[in-house]
Structure 1
C-alpha cells in the first residue's frame, strides 16, 4: 500500500473537520499575494538570454565595449531610382546617422556610416603625409556639384572598407550601424526613438529599413497590449465553454476561480522573488493558470458524480478529494518537475522561469486540489445534480468498448508503434536554433523581417561573427606573420557560400601599404617588416583627428584583433557551419604562429551560437530527466514499476510525435521552445494519470477489467475530453489572434502536445492495461478505506 495514500488518509479527517478555518487561511494568503502584484515589472533583459558560463559569452563580455556586442541597430537607406550619390539622399543618410548616434546607450565610437565622422577618406599628400577627411561633411559644404558627387562615388568605390560594407555594390543602398552599450539598454525608448525618426524622414522614392536585436525586442513590446487583450478574450472564451458544458453555477465559477487564484499566487510569487515577467514567456504562466482550471473541472465533474450517488454535499466533496487528490497531485508534481528541471540549463531567462513557474505550478495542489473540495463542502448543495453530456458520452462509450477489447487494444498499440517510427523520422528534421531566415518571433511579412531581407539582399549581411586573434606580447599584432595568419583565416572563411564578406586588420594594412606606394595594386599585400606594419597602422591612426581610429580593428594594447565575418541570417545550420569552419582552421593552422591564439566568438552570430549550444545541452538533459523523474514519481505513488512504465510510454508517445510535428513544421529548438516542450510533457501526463487511476478505482466496483475500462473512459474520460478541449480551444485562440508568430507557433505546438497526450490517455493507456493486465490495476482491494494492492497469496486465491 502506498505511503502517500496512508498520508492522505491521515490528514483527510483533519482537513474536512475545519473547512472554514482552512479556507480563511487560504483567503488570507491570496490577499497577501494580491498585494505583491503591483510591484511586478514586464520587460526583456538581453543578459537573461546569455549563458554566462559559455566561453563565447565570456569573450563577448570581454570585447563588447571595445569591438561591440550583439545589440546592433542596422539602418538601411534604399533609393528606388538612380544611386545614393545625390544631395537629397546624402543629406538623408547624414541626418539618420546623427539620429542613430543620438540613440540612448549608443557607443559613439562604434557608429559606422558613409557620412559618419569616423568613416574617412585617406590619401597621400604631395609632401608624403597621410591625410584624411570625412567622405561627406555638410557643415563645410551642404550641397555638392555633379563633379564633386562623382568624385565622392569614385573615392567610395576605391575603399573596400566602405564599398560593399557601407554602400551596396549596386550603389542604391547605404548602411548605418550603431552598437548599443548593454549595461545602458532601454529597448522601449530606443525603439520609440527609431520609429520617430524613421517616420519623420520618410520621403518619396526612398525606403528606410531597420533591423537588429533592439528593434526586434522593441517590436515585441508593441504587442504587449494585444497579449493582454488575448488573455482576457481567452478567459472569456473558456468561461463560455464552461457555461455551455456544465450549465451549472458551480461548474462555471469554481474552475474560473481556479484560474484567478492560481494567477494571483503565481504573480505574487514572481514579485516576491524579484523577477521580471518577460513578454516572450507569457505563454507558460498562462498555461499553468489554465491547467488550474482543468483540475477544477475534473474536481467539479467528479463532485457532481459523487453527489448523485451520495446525496450529501459534504460526503460528495470528501469523496472527490479522496479520489482525485492523489492523481491530481501527481499531475501537478509532474508539471512542476518539467518546469524546475529547465533550471539545469545555463540560460538565465529559463532559469528564472523555472524557479517561479515551478512554484506557481506546485501551489495548484493547495489553491485548487485542496481549496475546491473544501469550498464545495461548505457551499449550499446544488439542486440540479445531473449533467447531460449528449453526443460526447456516446462517442466515449464506443472508445471504451474499442480499447477494452483485446483485438482493439492490439490494433491501437500497433498504430502506436507506427506513430513512434513516423514521429522519430520527423524528429530527425528538427534543428537546433532558427530554421529559417529572419526572426521566428514575427511573421515573414512583418516590417522587421522585410527590413532584414532587404538589407541582407543589398549587403554582405547584417549578422556579424566576431573572431578574436590574441597575442601574448603587447604590440604583437604588428608582426607580419600574425597579419598573414589573420589573412589566411579570412580566405578560409570566404569558402563558406553563406558568408557575404569579411573585415579585419589585414585589409587595413594592405590598403595603407598600397596607398603609400602611389596606389600601386602590386603593394596590396602585407609588408615583411614588423616596424613597417606598425608604421602603417600609426599612419592611419595619425591621419584621423578622431581618437580611437583603430578601435574597430585592435584594442589599445594591440594584443587583440577583431575579425568580422558577415552573414545574411543566423539560422541554426548557418551558425553551425560557420563555427565548424573556424574550429577546423584553428585545429589545422591556429598554432602556426608562436604566441598567437584565436578565440570564439562574438557578435550576434557568436552569441546565438552560444545560446544554441546551451539550448542543445538543456534539451538533451532536461527532456530525458523530465521523463525519468515522472516515471519515478508515478512508480513511488503507486508502488509499482509497471505504473511508472505505463506513464513513460504515454509521455514518450506524445513527446516523439511532438518532435515529429516540430520537424514537419520547421519549428526549431531554441531558447523559447525548450520550456514549452518541457511543460507540455508535464501538463499532458495529467490525463493519463487520471485515466489510469480511475480504471484502478473502478476495479473495486466492477467484475471484469473490461467493465472497469469502459466505466473509466465514460466518466473520467469525459472529464479529460472536457478539460483538454477547454484548454485546447483556449490556447488555439492565440493562433488566430496573436500577431506574434512565436506565440501563435507556440500555441499550436501546445495544442498538438495536448491532443497527443489526450490520445495517449484515451487510447494508449487503457489499451495497454487491457492487453497486459498489470497487477497494480487488477489485484487491488480496499484496506482501511484506501486502495491497496493484494499480496501475491491473496491474488492467487
Structure 2
C-alpha cells in the first residue's frame, strides 16, 4: 500500500508546465502517465461486460433459499424423494362462482385445469392430487370389510347419477377441508414440483413457470370459474414480475442522485460523468455475475443499487476535491492528481472495509445470502477501478465548469451574514467538540440506544404476517392465499416430522404408538389445526375391520391385525409411508407460518424426539427427524438466521474494527468510528419491531449494508481530522477542516442515498419497501452519527491535553475565528482550506 505523506505544500498551479509530474507516489505517477490507457481499458470493459449483463438471467431457486447444511434440511434432502408433495409444491384452487362443485360445467372446467397443469414441464405428475387424479381415493367400512376406490367414478359422464356418486365418494373420502372446500364451492389441485425441467435438464425456471401458470391456468378464469394459485414457485414468479417494476425505482434513484449532485456542484458535465461511471460500475457487476454463473434473484436486487450508491459516495468525494482545487486556480490535471494523492488511500481503505464487511456474510449457511455476499464484494471491488482510478483520470481531461468552481469557492468564503439557518447549523457542528455539547449529545445517544435495546429484544425471527409477507397484503398472491385459508379447514402450511425405522418396522406397535403420541402432543399445541399420520390411519382402519366398532379405534398389539391395517393404509393413502415402510411422515397442518407458531411446534417436536428417539445400537431403532414440509423448512431456515445473525455481527464488526485499526493505528479512533455504527444497528432493529418486520433472509443483509456504508463516512471524516491533529491543530480546528473538506459530501451522500431508497416504499414488493424504509433510516442516521457523534466522542477519546506542535498553536478560539474565512486581497490566490492528505501515522 502506497504511503502518502501529509503535505501542506500543495500550491495553486495554474500552468501545467510549472507542475512537477514526478511528484507524488509511484502508483499515482503510473496511473496519470497512462491516462488514456486507463480510460480506454475501462470503456472496453464496460462494453464487453455490458454485453454479458444483457444475458444475465433473473430467477430464484428453492434449494438456495434453505440452509443445506442444517441437520433438519439434511434430513429433508435425504428423504425428499420418499416424501412426495411435502416440500416444494404448487396449489391451484378452482372455484365455482355461481354454485358448488357438484356441477357438470364446473367439473369439466376443473378437468381442463387439471389436464393443462399436468402437462406443464416441472410438475411431478405421479404425485399430483385432485378430484380427477386416481391417486385421490375413498374408503369406507362395510359388512364385508373395507371398500374403496378413486373419488372420481370410473364411469363419470356428467349425468346427475355420476355426480351423485362423486358426491358420495367425496363424503366418505375425508378430503373435505383439504382438497374440497368446507363450503363445497371449490376444489384444490396439489402438484409437487421437480427440481429440474425434464425437457431441458436445466434447473426449473420459476419465472418462466409462473408465466406458464398465468398464461395457461389463470387464463381459464371466467365469470363462472375463479382460479387461485399459491406456492413457492408462484411467489417467486410474482416477485420476479415485480422485479421489472423495481427497475423503475432504480432509475428514479439514479435520477435523484444526479439531481442532488448537480445542485451541489452546479456542473452538468462532471455530474453526468459521475452518474455514468456509477452506472458503469453496476454494468461491470452484472456482467461479471453472468460470467461467473450467478443469477439475479428477487432477494439480491439490493446489490445493484448498493454498488451504485457506494460509487456515488466515493465519486462525489473525488469530484469535490477537484472542484475546490480548480476553483482556487489549479489546473484541472494538477487538481485531479492532488485529489488522487489525498483520497486514494482513504477510499481504498473504505472499499476494502466494505468488501470484508459484505464478504463475511458467507458464514451464514443460506446459499442466497452467500451469493449476495460474494456478488456485493465483487461489485465493491469493481469500484476500485471505476471510482478510485477512472473518475480522477476522466476529470483530469474534462475538469469542471468555471462557474461551478466559482460557486464552490464562494460557498467556502461566505461570511456569517450570508448564511441561512442551515448554514448557521452547519458551521455550529464543531461545537460538539466542546465538553458541554459533547456530554449532552453522548448522554442523549446513550438514552436512545438503551431504550432501543429494550425494544429490539422483541424482534422476531421469521414471518410476522400470514400469507407471503414479501408481497403487499392486497397482492393477487395474498388474496388467493386468504381465500384458501378462509375456505379450507387445512392450511397449506405443513410441518412434517419424519419417523425413520428399519425396513418394515413402521408396522410395529411401538413405532406406531410413539407416532400417535407425538401427533397427540402436536394437536394440543396452539397453531396446529390437525395432524395426519400412518398411526391415525391405522387406528381408523383397525376400527373399520371390526365393523366400525369404536372399541377397536386404536393401534392393536396383535401384529397380524396391525399388518393388515398398514397394508390397507398404503393402498388407500399413497405416500403415507414409503414402499419399504421405513420412512413415514407425520404431517401437522398449521394455522399459519408465523414465527411464534413455528417456534412452538418446533419446540414440541424437538423435545419429543429427544425423549423418544432410540439409543444407539437399539434392536428396533425409531428416530423422529425434523423437518420437512414448507413450514418445517422455514422453521429450519429461521434457526440458521437466528444463529447466523450473532456470528455475522461478530464478523462484520470484527473485520471493520481490524481495518480501522490498520488505517488509524489507534484503538481510540477505531472506537470513535465504530460506536455510531453499533448504535445504528441497535436502533434499526428496534425500528423493525415498531414496523412489524421480522428478521429473515430478505432483511438480514440490511444490517451488514448499514455497517459497510456507514463506516465510509467515519473513514473520510476521521482521516482528515486526525491529519490536522497530528500537525498540532486543536480538535475544533481539525474537525472544522474535516467538515470543509469531506463533511459536506458526507451530508450530500447521506441525503442522496436516503432520497434514492425512500422511493422503494412504494414498491409492489413489500420486502423491498421494508428494505427501503430501513436503508433510508440507516443512511440518514449514519450521516448524522458521523457528523455529530464523531466530534463528541473525539472530545473524550481523541483530544489530548497537549495538542500542539512546534510553531503551531491552534485552540478552540482559533477554530471559532477560522469559521469566518477572510476574503483574499485583490489579486491574491484564494486560500487553500483543503490541502489535506492521510496522516503518516495516527498515534
TM-score by length of 1: 0.91
Structure 1 CA distance for aligned equivalents of residues 313 and 305 of structure 2? 12
Q: Is 1:180–2:180 an aligned residue pair? A: no
Question: What is the correspondence of 1:323-722 to structure 2 with a 5 Å cutoff?
Answer: 323-380=342-399, 382-384=401-403, 385-387=405-407, 391=420, 394-457=423-486, 458-472=488-502, 474-540=503-569, 550-591=573-614, 594-699=620-725, 703-722=729-748
Partners of 1:642 and 1:774 within 8 A in 2: no
Structure 1 residues 539 and 663, CA gap change in structure 2 (3 angstroms): closer
- Selected match of 1:190 from 205, 209, 212: 209
Structure 2 CA distance for aligned equivalents of residues 751 and 780 of structure 1? 42
Displacement after TM superposition at 1:170 (Å): 4.2
Structure 2 CA distance for aligned equivalents of residues 216 and 762 of structure 1? 42
* SS across alignment from 1:366: helix
Which segment drifts farther, 230-239 or 358-367? 230-239
Q: Is 1:751–2:751 an aligned residue pair? A: no
Residue 767 of structure 1 corresponds to: 792
Structure 2 CA distance for aligned equivalents of residues 619 and 504 of structure 1? 36
Residue 794 of structure 1 corresponds to: none
Unaligned 5+ segments in structure 2 are 7-23, 198-203, 412-418, 809-834
Partners of 1:429 and 1:664 within 8 A in 2: no
Deviations 1:506-547 (A, max 9, x none): 2322222233233333332222222222223334556xxxxx
Partners of 1:463 and 1:570 within 8 A in 2: yes
Structure 1 residues 32 and 221, CA gap change in structure 2 (3 angstroms): closer
Structure 1 CA distance for aligned equivalents of residues 760 and 325 of structure 2? 36
Q: Is 1:136–2:152 an aligned residue pair? A: yes
Structure 2 CA distance for aligned equivalents of residues 324 and 441 of structure 1? 41
Partners of 2:95 and 2:185 within 8 A in 1: yes
Q: Is 1:112–2:160 an aligned residue pair? A: no
- Selected match of 1:33 from 49, 65, 80: 49
Structure 2 CA distance for aligned equivalents of residues 392 and 362 of structure 1? 40
Displacement after TM superposition at 1:745 (Å): 1.0
Structure 1 residues 763 and 786, CA gap change in structure 2 (3 angstroms): closer
Structure 1 CA distance for aligned equivalents of residues 177 and 735 of structure 2? 70
Structure 2 CA distance for aligned equivalents of residues 115 and 381 of structure 1? 72
* SS across alignment from 1:43: coil
* SS across alignment from 1:182: coil
Structure 1 residues 28 and 251, CA gap change in structure 2 (3 angstroms): closer
Displacement after TM superposition at 1:702 (Å): 8.2
Structure 1 residues 785 and 604, CA gap change in structure 2 (3 angstroms): closer
RMSD: 2.9
Deviations 1:375-434 (A, max 9, x none): 222335642312356758605534424323321111111111112112212211211111
Residue 324 of structure 2 corresponds to: 305
Partners of 1:503 and 1:565 within 8 A in 2: yes
Moved over 6 A (4+): 779-786
Structure 2 CA distance for aligned equivalents of residues 766 and 754 of structure 1? 19
Partners of 1:780 and 1:787 within 8 A in 2: no
* SS across alignment from 2:196: helix
Structure 2 CA distance for aligned equivalents of residues 336 and 328 of structure 1? 12
Structure 1 residues 777 and 115, CA gap change in structure 2 (3 angstroms): farther
* SS across alignment from 1:20: helix
Displacement after TM superposition at 1:15 (Å): 3.1
Partners of 1:504 and 1:553 within 8 A in 2: yes
Partners of 1:49 and 1:347 within 8 A in 2: yes
Question: What is the correspondence of 1:150-229 to structure 2 with a 5 Å cutoff?
Answer: 152-153=166-167, 155-160=169-174, 162-184=175-197, 185-204=204-223, 207-229=226-248
Q: Is 1:43–2:59 an aligned residue pair? A: yes
Q: Is 1:96–2:113 an aligned residue pair? A: yes
Partners of 1:696 and 1:778 within 8 A in 2: no
Deviations 1:566-594 (A, max 9, x none): 11322222212111110112223343994
Structure 2 CA distance for aligned equivalents of residues 262 and 141 of structure 1? 64
- Aligned pair count reads 778
